Amino acid sequence: LEDTVRAITIERFGDPAGMAMRTVDAPEPAPAQVLIRTAAIGVGGVDAVIRRGTLGSGFPSGMIPGSEIAGRVVGVGDDVDPAWIGRRVWAFTGTSGGYAEYAVAALEDVIPLPDTLSDVDAVTLGSAGTVAHFALLQAGVRSRARVLVRGAAGSIGIAAVQLAVHAGASVVAVTTSSRSRGALLRELGATHALDRSGRSDAADAPESFDVIIDIVGGPDVAQFIDRLAPNGRMVMVGAVAGYPPADFGAALLRSFQQSRSFGTFSLATIPVAERNAARAAQFADGVLTPIVHEILPLERAADAHRAMDQGSVFGRIVLVPGSH
Ligand SMILES: NC(=O)c1ccc[n+]([C@@H]2O[C@H](COP(=O)([O-])OP(=O)(O)OC[C@H]3O[C@@H](n4cnc5c(N)ncnc54)[C@H](OP(=O)(O)O)[C@@H]3O)[C@@H](O)[C@H]2O)c1
């Protein structure tokens, strides 16, 4: 194994131009970790948020971003069965370390890949599919449910739409600011594309929903609570538009007789064994179609982040390291 590896680092937080390709010391697996030679690296929304520098001071300059990789295990830490070496796997690397030719991951965050799923597709389904799965479970989506996925054009939304269709929902509406992304979501089974305010010119646009999966949050949450049918449930999974105002819950109380509910969902509450079982099932069952926006060489990570900042990405941008 090499002593040094090529990696993308964040030299300056803020603009994507602050990212650079560097040669760094090769990572070494600690006990209970494995070393993976990366073949595909997922570019996630959270990477962009960290790079913008808005997540606070916990991230040092010079850090390697990236949390999702696929590739082959090439080394193991103490206490890890050497039989792992040579296996093709998907891994979550935490909030850093992924944009590199080699990365380490805790064994509990590593999942062997079936031959039927490519490295690129594995990092595309990755975490987002699992988040969508458990969020829909939390919201109690059943056959014939009328579902709205708010902010459906991102990785979590794309998975949530497909899983709601698979669960037999009678309506799977989405919000998106783009007609073309609305058309792509319809190809994945969405029945109605609404604008960001939840409106549409179509005569058959649904008025109310049994379930709202909300990835957006922000100032409009109360308006969407008002769109819940009696006993309807809204589950907030993300807050890409920020947290809702403190008084948003007044909308629930105003409609007390409708028995609506609101909750948040974080994957952190799902025990790691359950998370891994759900992820392995998604990797194997073929229910989710991985939507790859673009595949770029690792050295073009800054271009990937520019596209993320422009808001034009539909599906996952995947980075691939050059030949080893
Ligand atoms: N709960 C969990 O366990 C968990 C796990 C991982 C991540 N997350 C959270 O999930 C979110 C990222 O999910 P993602 O990658 O699927 O989302 P994303 O791609 O960042 O955003 C989803 C969509 O929201 C729309 N949008 C963006 N800004 C908006 C605004 N200001 N107002 C209304 N709509 C807006 C955009 O679509 P249009 O332009 O088409 O409208 C965008 O495609 C983050 O908040 C992250 O913290 C949660």
Is residue 324 pLDDT above 70, yes or no?
no
- DSSP track, 273-312: HHHHHHHHHHHHH--SPP-EEEEEEGGGHHHHHHHHHHT-
215 CA distance to ligand 1 middle (Å): 5
pLDDT grade, residue 263 (50/70/90)? very high
Longest Cα separation, the chain: 66
62 CA distance to ligand 1 middle (Å): 26
Give the mean pLDDT of 288-317. Answer: 96
Residue nearest to atom 47 of ligand 1 (CA): 238
251 CA distance to ligand 1 middle (Å): 23
CB 277 near ligand 1, within 6 Å: no
SS3 for 29-68 is CCCCEEEEEEEEEEECHHHHHHHHCCCCCCCCCCECCCCE
Number of CB atoms found within 10 A of residue 14's CB: 11
Residue of 150, 156, 293 best suited for mutating to test ligand 1, as the one with most atoms within 8 Å of CB: 156
Residue of 51, 188, 195, 240 best suited for mutating to test ligand 1, as the one with most atoms within 8 Å of CB: 240
pTM: 0.95
CB 196 near ligand 1, within 6 Å: yes
Strand partners, 171: 146
The tens digit of pLDDT for each residue in 114-125 reads 999 999 999 999
CB 267 near ligand 1, within 6 Å: yes
The tens digit of pLDDT for each residue in 204-231 reads 999 999 999 999 999 999 999 999 999 9
Atom of ligand 1 at shortest range from CA of 265: 1
237 CA distance to ligand 1 middle (Å): 9
CB 176 near ligand 1, within 6 Å: yes
CB 311 near ligand 1, within 6 Å: yes
CB 177 near ligand 1, within 6 Å: yes
- Name the residue with tokens 């309506």: 171
Give the mean pLDDT of 140-158. Answer: 96
- Give pLDDT, residue 129: 96
Question: Does residue 81 sit in helix, strand or coil?
Answer: coil
Atom of ligand 1 at shortest range from CA of 242: 31
In this structure, what DSSP letter does residue 241 have? T
Give the mean pLDDT of 24-32. Answer: 97
pLDDT grade, residue 315 (50/70/90)? very high
**What is the overall mean pLDDT for the chain?**
96
User: Which has the closest alpha carbon to 152: 240, 31, 228?
Assistant: 240
pLDDT grade, residue 323 (50/70/90)? low
Share above pLDDT 90 across residues of the chain, in percent, rounded to a whole number? 94
Residue nearest to atom 44 of ligand 1 (CA): 238
